[in-house]
């Protein structure tokens, strides 16, 4: 094996320790997908870095919730009035690519009496047409649905954010069909990625709309951004682990190295990097994305980023008419960003000596960690998930048990069970027997069942021991205690 391949393989193993092995990523994804399944009131999609399987510094829980009161259609003739939800129709005639306005179909304009008064609050009054205002829409949820103290405290862009930004809620709308604006992506010439079956799956999911307009637009408050978050999640999940680690490397590179230059901070964002990796993946042979080639793959991504900044061109992956870098930089900032990126490119992976996450890479401990070791992080995600949804642990456990069949899923299920004792409130916390009637027997059996569920943790085990002692089942107490 050449020196370059050896170094890449060592670096890959190091990244598996720092960012996560394939098994770690599967665990993170599965633990969050379970919470998305079977939501009682509104469907949700966990997105962002954590939803993609990455858990790095600064990663938060981004939760996209599909609001069912509206259903979006591309034109009036597509509207199906038999489906649930008030129909809204897209209007992209005077909007920037990737943005649209949403208005009521013509027949509903004269039938306003049928609309819920709460829905009326979200509509922008106009003498010709009623359009859904993204500002009023977010304000409605902020003041009503998320009015529980401490649940959300700010409106940040399209999201309602929790204290300290631990997680963001994006209240989305959905169009069940793939829109014509992105139809060219389906038939675009490509190598082998993404596969035809993946494209079919993606297009069957339709698109989402998030409540944010194009910055600087004359009707910014009435515009909605077309979101391909579901499609992007499918694409990320199809990555090899080397691809995912390259993507993670770029995110760390941006947040911990480039953004350390105060005047460059915020000029680039993670979404640009994701788009970049999509384009490179589509153009390249999948065989290059392997562990002993990870450094050249990363350098290829970085070189493309330099090119994109230098020529102010990064096309949206699904709607190429949208140049994400159009008017992004002024001349001075573009010059400084280009030079900064070129200098870092010359350093290769040595640029990470100034990274908080990867600054010890020169030690290159070459052992890939034992799979499924980072259970503390997964438990934290599970607890955050439970606290951020309208479902009880019982519903989450039910979804895990019935929707996941693999050995990995069963191991995650064990973690859910081990956390259950924190969520269940015992009917009689002192375990005291007041009488020997059927009611007390029922309570005894009920409490015993809950304690057995929690016995996979030390606190739960100790509670079980105490339970047997109080109920004078000394043989069981001795067997467990000793």
Question: 368 is written with which tokens?
Answer: 């890939």
With b for 16 or more beta-carbon neighbours within 10 A and e for fewer, the 335-362 pattern comes to eebbebbeebeeeebebbeebebbeebe
Q: Compute the radius of gyration of the chain from its Cα atoms.
A: 26
Three-point CA angle 394, 141, 79, nearest 5°: 95
Domain parsing of the chain, residue ranges: 3-35+229-363, 69-210, 425-482
- Band of pLDDT at residue 431, cut at 50, 70 and 90: very low
Q: Which CATH class is domain 3-35+229-363?
A: mainly alpha
pTM for the model: 0.80
What are the tens digits of pLDDT across the range 79-96?
Answer: 877 677 788 999 999 899
Residue 475 has pLDDT above 70, yes or no: no
- Band of pLDDT at residue 427, cut at 50, 70 and 90: very low
Q: Decide: helix, strand or coil at residue 88.
A: strand
Average of pLDDT values for 397-414? 61
Dist CA 53 CA 50 (whole Å): 5
Q: Looking at 102-116, 172-186, 212-226, 391-405, which range is the least confident one? A: 391-405
What are the tens digits of pLDDT across the range 440-459?
Answer: 666 666 666 555 555 555 55
- Band of pLDDT at residue 466, cut at 50, 70 and 90: low
Residue 184 has pLDDT above 50, yes or no: yes
Residue 368 has pLDDT above 50, yes or no: no
Residue 363 has pLDDT above 50, yes or no: yes
Between these two residues, 350 and 468, which has the higher pLDDT value? 350
- Band of pLDDT at residue 429, cut at 50, 70 and 90: very low
Given this model, what pLDDT does residue 168 score? 84
Q: What percent of the chain has pLDDT over 70?
A: 66
Q: What percent of the chain has pLDDT over 90?
A: 45
Dist CA 360 CA 160 (whole Å): 37
Average of pLDDT values for 28-38? 76
Residue 211 has pLDDT above 70, yes or no: yes
Helix locations, 75-149, DSSP H: 106-109, 117-122, 134-140
363 cis-preceded (ω within 30 degrees of 0): no
Residue 393 has pLDDT above 90, yes or no: no
- Band of pLDDT at residue 175, cut at 50, 70 and 90: very high
Q: Looking at 5-14, 54-63, 107-116, 223-232, which range is the least confident one? A: 107-116
Write down the mean pLDDT value for the chain: 80
Residue 369 has pLDDT above 60, yes or no: no
- Band of pLDDT at residue 130, cut at 50, 70 and 90: confident
User: Quick one: angle between helices 3-18 and 241-256, nearest 10?
Assistant: 70
């Amino acid at each position: 094996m050449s020196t370059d391949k050896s170094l890449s393989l060592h670096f890959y193993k190091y990244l598996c320790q720092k960012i996560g092995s394939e098994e770690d990523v599967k665990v993170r994804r599965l633990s969050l997908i379970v919470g998305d399944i079977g939501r009682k009131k509104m469907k949700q999609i966990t997105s962002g870095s954590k939803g993609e399987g990455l858990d790095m510094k600064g990663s938060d829980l981004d939760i996209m919730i599909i609001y069912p009161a509206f259903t979006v259609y591309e034109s009036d003739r597509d509207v199906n009035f038999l489906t649930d939800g008030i129909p809204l129709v897209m209007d992209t005639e005077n909007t920037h690519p990737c943005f649209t306005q949403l208005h009521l179909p013509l027949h509903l304009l004269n039938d306003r009496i049928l609309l819920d008064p709460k829905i009326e609050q979200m509509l922008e009054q106009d003498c010709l047409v009623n359009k859904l205002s993204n500002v009023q829409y977010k304000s409605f949820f902020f003041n009503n649905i998320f009015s529980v103290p401490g649940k959300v405290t700010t409106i940040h862009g399209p999201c309602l954010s929790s204290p300290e930004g631990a997680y963001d809620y994006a209240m989305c709308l959905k169009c069940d069909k793939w829109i014509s604006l992105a139809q060219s992506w389906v038939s675009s010439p490509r190598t082998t990625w993404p596969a035809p079956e993946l494209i079919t799956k993606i297009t069957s999911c339709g698109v989402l709309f998030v409540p944010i307009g194009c910055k600087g637009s004359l009707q910014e408050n009435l515009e909605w951004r077309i979101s391909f978050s579901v499609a992007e999640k499918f694409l990320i999940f199809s990555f090899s682990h080397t691809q995912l680690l390259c993507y993670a490397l770029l995110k760390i590179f941006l947040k911990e190295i480039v953004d350390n230059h105060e005047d460059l901070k915020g000029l680039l964002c993670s979404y640009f990097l994701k788009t970049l990796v999509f384009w490179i993946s589509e153009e390249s042979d999948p065989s290059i994305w392997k562990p002993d080639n990870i450094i050249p793959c990363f350098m290829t991504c970085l070189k493309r980023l330099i090119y994109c900044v230098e020529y102010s061109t990064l096309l949206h992956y699904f709607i190429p008419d949208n140049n994400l870098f159009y008017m992004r930089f002024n001349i001075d900032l573009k010059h400084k960003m280009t030079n900064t990126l070129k200098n870092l490119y010359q350093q290769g992976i040595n640029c990470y000596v100034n990274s908080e996450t990867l600054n010890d890479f020169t030690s290159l401990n070459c052992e890939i960690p034992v799979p499924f070791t980072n259970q503390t992080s997964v438990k934290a995600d599970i607890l955050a998930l439970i606290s951020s949804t309208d479902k009880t642990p019982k519903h989450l456990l039910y979804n895990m048990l019935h929707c996941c069949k693999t050995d990995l899923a069963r191991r995650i299920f064990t973690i859910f069970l081990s956390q259950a004792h924190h969520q269940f409130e015992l009917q009689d916390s002192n375990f005291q027997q007041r009488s020997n009637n059927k009611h007390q027997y029922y309570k005894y059996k009920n409490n015993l069942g809950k304690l057995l569920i929690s016995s996979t943790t030390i606190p739960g085990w100790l509670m079980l021991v105490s339970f047997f002692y109080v109920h004078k089942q000394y043989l069981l107490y001795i067997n467990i205690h000793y």
